[in-house]
Amino acid sequence: MHRKIATGLAASTLALVTVAATATTASAAPADKPQVLASWTQTSASSHNAWAAARANQAAWSAYAFDWSTDYCSSSPDNPFGFPFSLSCARHDFGYRNYKAAGTFEANKSRIDSAFYEDLKRVCNAYSGGTKTSCDGTAWTYYQAVRAFG
């Protein structure tokens, strides 16, 4: 009788361990999460566009458990002088928050800041003349601020 109970208990324990291991594996982020994060935080327009598309369809990326939260340009205006910098700030926040969560922020901060500056310059490319010059100067100021205080 004790042997049947012990056998049943061992089988139940094994089944529970298998279920727990499967649940842990299912909830773990995909192994390529660092590569996806890196691909979305490069300086290129294609990196920005891929990130923006993913941001618009966050549910498709839910298994990766990315932090999509943002305060946009923090305590600076999101659209200084009417220049739409908010999306650039959101991508910058994405890079900072996800690399901090991964424990690799310091190794990636410079690239994230550079990507931010490139995003801002792409915004400014929509303008010409004195307006573009003003936008470029504002972009430079925002970039210097994140380099120093970000």
Catalytic site residues? 92
Do 30 and 20 meet the contact criterion of CB atoms below 8 Å apart?
no
- Cα–Cα distances in angstroms (integers) from residue 63 to residues 31, 46, 53, 67, in the given order: 11, 23, 16, 12
Coil, helix or strand for 62?
A: helix
Q: Tokens in use for 89?
A: 């700030």
DSSP tag of 29: P
The answer for residues whose C-beta is within 8 angstroms of residue 116's C-beta and 6 or more apart is 88, 89, 91, 92, 95, 142, 143, 146
Dist. CA 127–CA 135, nearest whole Å: 8
Q: Helices 45-56 and 105-124 meet at what angle, rounded to 10?
A: 100
Do 121 and 45 meet the contact criterion of CB atoms below 8 Å apart?
no
